[in-house]
Structure 1
Amino acid sequence: MDSATSIVIPATTLVGVVAFLWLMQWLLLGRNPEIGNERKFPRQIILLALTITGLLAIVFALPIGESSRNQLIGLIGLLISGIIAFSSTNMVSNLMAGILLRMTQPFKTGDFIRVGEHFGRVSERGRFDTEIQTETRELIALPNTLLTTQALAAIRSSGTIISVNISLGYDVHHARVEKLLLEAAEKANLKDAFVHILSLDDFTVSYRLSGFLEEVKKLISSRSELYRHILDCLHGADIEIMSPSVMNQRRIAEDQKVIPKTVSHTLDASTNQANDKAEKLAEKIAFDKADEAEIAEKTMQTLKDKIVSLESKLEQSSDEERSKIKEKIEALRHSLKKLEDKPVKQDG
């Protein structure tokens, strides 16, 4: 092999590998830069494998002897092994934790979860971390190892119990309190409500009102609505609330109670309507990404189930029916691919 050929072949290989990797990087990641980590990770693995393959192709194209080539390949393998060894501790731990979470399924996309001080709805489940969206619309990425090593509380999609603790004076009979609290729970659309007396304190009696909420997506607004109805019911019955304790420094008459003045019915109705509208908008804005992710995941699972169902019918169908079924399968796969490639909604 002459000197010109020995230079042209490696140079051509280098240019070809770089051009190919650039094209694959654009096809896999560049076209949809906003796709989530869930769909980005396998593409990154493919790109890494292609990069290593391209590097080996360049080494084989170099005009060097067999012994030198083997040493160079061994050096590349050693470098790659070293990089993986240094970075694999957290990476492998989070990856294995992600696989464990997929197997045990303690929560789904769109569920409310609490881990330590973090609380929000799951907006994305990645192989290395899980993203939650808080009620202030912040996106927090939690390492999967955190979800498997700490206590994780997940609110079931079938419903949850919301509670509120309240302290009232000894001058109010508990039967009257229970009746008013249950009335507040009914107005807040809670099912199977119940009241517990938690403690008899020095100056107050502590009660807990609990009720079953079927629409868990309305958790934030339903809790606020429950508080509002408790205030209305107790103040409407001329009962002052002592939670956690009244520490009033001003002089008041013995028969004067700490209760807001009664507002007109028109003003009260308009205030409630404004609050209802604001709370609906608040949850829609706060958990927009979690809502979108939950809908997308459910839609993709539905499409996959339909594809599996149609594929099972192919063998038992006639030629004409088989052709129609294949067309339906292709249409469903096309819709599924569009959903998988759809960019995830970002802030801004």
Structure 2
Amino acid sequence: MNKSFDKLPSTGVLRQAQDERQRIGSVHGEPVEPSPERSRRVHSKPTYSDGFPSHFDKCRGNNVSFIFNLFCGAAGNRMGRIVLVVLALVLPGLPSMAADTPDDAASNEESTHEVPRAPVILDGNTLFLLRGASAFPAERRAAEVAARIAALAANPAFDPSTLKISASPDVTLITAGKERVIAVFDADAVLESVDRGILAQVYRQRILEAIAAYRQDRTPDALIRHVLYIAAASIAFAVFIWLARRAKGRLDAILERRLRARIEGLASQSYQIVRAKHLWGFLQGASRFMWIALAALGGLFYLEFVLINLPWTRLIGSRLFDLLIDPLRVMGIGLAKAIPDLIFLAVLAVVTRFVIKALRIFFTGVADGAIRLEHFEADWSWPTYRLLRLFIIAFAIVVAFPYIPGSSSDAFKGVSLFLGVVFSLGSSSVIANIIAGYTMTYRRAYKLGDRIQIGEHMGDVTEVRQLVTHIRTPKNEEIVVPNSLILNSSVVNYSTLARQGQLVLHTTVGIGYETPWRQVEAMLLEAASRTPGVQTEPPPFVLQQALGDFCVNYEINVYCDDAQAMNRLYTALHQNILDVFNEYGVQIMTPNYESDPSEAKLVPRDQWYLAPAKPAGAQGKAE
């Protein structure tokens, strides 16, 4: 057996088998004479005759490797290489032939997933994948290899049979004459889990097939055939567009004939809640969208077919459909992965909405008086509800944030940070007004319908919002006051004590020193008693405010229970004061003067109703 093995042809594969035979023989104690070539490589890794590193370095002592090499040698060089390629791709995965430890296999698998690779593409066809390095990225390496292969294929003087493989201990080169096409390293073989020499043979075969296809696609017969295909596709696409337009026209006619009248009838029956114009426009828009989508899809298929049939644009054509489908595919995959999170968000939204509805029902009862809480005003119900609703929504957002698809991405975090900065910079005054509004509410400074005065503005509170308060003046002017301004200003509320009949209205008159003060007080009290709307309990009272240079200032104070009637009560009180003082002949010393006039400045009773004034009785008869 040994003699027959030694007499086999000295090919590259058989030389490796001889080396393996000598190694195995030495292990079993057989005296085997090493070959001269073997002795030259005693201090280096075993290689094939053409420099490939031995695929069986890790299989020392394994008789299966010897049988395998023996079979390859007996089958001849070409057949041996084919069998070697097939078995080398299969055997590394078998547990019985795997010499690597589990840790090594795991590290190899991990490196396969972690190392980025790029495809070598020629005429839109991927030949193989190449890895890269930090200083030489995979994309750049693949592009340069593809450019060299394309240059060889485009060179009519290049003979593919001259594509050779040369090996060294560190690298295997595929060359075309003196030009290097690709260098195969041990790291490339590790990623593919095959021997470096076998991987180089696979690369060479792929390159030969790609060059042959490249030249075949550019022959005159092939180009004429592809041009005919494109012409036929153009005619088919034109017919398709024509048929689609006719179908759209017929569809519009059917919609016009069968649905237009029904839509108008539906609009009249719904009292124009559903407008016929809008519904009809929606149907027409749907028909137009279907036509555009169908035409765009047909045009996409047509353009892809044209580009693929031209070898110069085949790469663009092969990627054209993916450019549109890949975003949809990515979104679909992302949606499928996010389904559990979306279910959680849906459940959280339902629970949050239920809690908010329950709170709304509760505080509605508080506002209506059906539910009474001790030391809790009914006016506080809606502000409290809004605060609790805000807290519940904020808590729900905090809980839901980790489950929002894409929330952990840097883009989402960046946008969130940007919005937070913008909100914090632009909402300082808004937040101040909101806080001021709630502060004024819980301070019970006023409520809807109260007559208040803020600064120089006086009127009735018509609406209290989170940011502003609306006031309507007696002149029917709408004034919008920011809540922060109200918080920093004095608020006079006339309605708080008016509801208890304790609001005091007061006015001042100046009377000369010659008039007894008791008479003046009696006249002022009589004028107050004549004024309708003035409370008798507590009774009106008079205060002497000052002893002026020319007169004594008397102030009449009356109680009322209607703050909205203040202006009317003041007018009636002033009218009665003038009447009473005229009746008793007492002169009101306003404006101030330096000397008494020759005649008292009084209005005689018979001149009270000079034209155009009419007595009260005569005015009633005229009406």
- 2:325 counterpart of 1:5: yes
Q: Which residue of 1 aligns with 2:568?
A: 221
Inter-partner Cα distance in structure 1 for 2:588 and 2:331? 82
- 2:474 counterpart of 1:135: yes
Taking a change above 3 Å as real, the CA distance of residues 271 and 141 of structure 1, as seen in their structure-2 partners, is: farther
Q: Which residue of 1 aligns with 2:491?
A: 152
- Figure out how many residues of one structure are paired with residues of the other and give that number: 228
Taking a change above 3 Å as real, the CA distance of residues 176 and 90 of structure 1, as seen in their structure-2 partners, is: same
Inter-partner Cα distance in structure 2 for 1:111 and 1:272? 35
Inter-partner Cα distance in structure 1 for 2:485 and 2:616? 46
1:112 pairs with 451, 458, 462, which one? 451
Q: Which residue of 2 aligns with 1:302?
A: none
Q: Which residue of 2 aligns with 1:162?
A: 505
Inter-partner Cα distance in structure 2 for 1:11 and 1:245? 88
The 5-angstrom pairing of residues 289-328 of structure 1 reads none
- 2:529 counterpart of 1:186: yes
Taking a change above 3 Å as real, the CA distance of residues 6 and 183 of structure 1, as seen in their structure-2 partners, is: farther
Inter-partner Cα distance in structure 1 for 2:421 and 2:327? 31
Maintained 8 Å contact 1:110/1:122: yes
The 5-angstrom pairing of residues 72-111 of structure 1 reads 72-111=411-450
The Cα of 1:153 is off from its aligned counterpart by: 1.2
The Cα of 1:88 is off from its aligned counterpart by: 2.4
Q: Which residue of 1 aligns with 2:463?
A: 124
Q: Which residue of 1 aligns with 2:579?
A: 232
Inter-partner Cα distance in structure 2 for 1:228 and 1:186? 12
Q: Which residues of structure 1 form unaligned runs of 5+?
A: 13-37, 61-65, 274-348
Inter-partner Cα distance in structure 2 for 1:198 and 1:7? 85
- CA offsets, 1:125-150, max 9 Å, x none? 11111111111111111111222222
The Cα of 1:8 is off from its aligned counterpart by: 5.1
Maintained 8 Å contact 1:166/1:244: no
Q: What is the one-letter code of the residue matched to 1:224? A: T
What SS class does the counterpart of residue 241 from structure 1 fall into? coil
Larger radius of gyration: 2
Inter-partner Cα distance in structure 1 for 2:466 and 2:617? 48
Inter-partner Cα distance in structure 2 for 1:247 and 1:221? 34
Q: Which residues of structure 2 form unaligned runs of 5+?
A: 1-320, 333-381
- CA offsets, 1:85-137, max 9 Å, x none? 11222111111111112212121111111122121111111111111111111
The Cα of 1:9 is off from its aligned counterpart by: 7.8
The Cα of 1:263 is off from its aligned counterpart by: 2.2
Inter-partner Cα distance in structure 1 for 2:468 and 2:587? 47
The Cα of 1:217 is off from its aligned counterpart by: 2.0
Inter-partner Cα distance in structure 1 for 2:410 and 2:487? 42
Scaled by the length of structure 1, what TM-score is found?
A: 0.57
Q: What is the one-letter code of the residue matched to 2:562? A: E
Taking a change above 3 Å as real, the CA distance of residues 5 and 127 of structure 1, as seen in their structure-2 partners, is: same
The 5-angstrom pairing of residues 169-208 of structure 1 reads 169-189=512-532, 190-191=534-535, 192-208=539-555
Maintained 8 Å contact 2:550/2:593: no
Inter-partner Cα distance in structure 1 for 2:331 and 2:476? 51
Q: What is the one-letter code of the residue matched to 1:3? A: L
Taking a change above 3 Å as real, the CA distance of residues 145 and 168 of structure 1, as seen in their structure-2 partners, is: same
Inter-partner Cα distance in structure 2 for 1:10 and 1:187? 87
- CA offsets, 1:253-308, max 9 Å, x none? 52x122234324982316998xxxxxxxxxxxxxxxxxxxxxxxxxxxxxxxxxxx
Scaled by the length of structure 2, what TM-score is found?
A: 0.33
The Cα of 1:212 is off from its aligned counterpart by: 0.1
The Cα of 1:7 is off from its aligned counterpart by: 4.6
Taking a change above 3 Å as real, the CA distance of residues 259 and 150 of structure 1, as seen in their structure-2 partners, is: same
Compare relative contact order (CA 8 Å, sep 6+) and give the higher one, 1 or 2. Answer: 1
Report the identity percentage: 23
Maintained 8 Å contact 2:524/2:556: yes
Taking a change above 3 Å as real, the CA distance of residues 153 and 264 of structure 1, as seen in their structure-2 partners, is: closer
Q: What is the one-letter code of the residue matched to 1:167? A: G
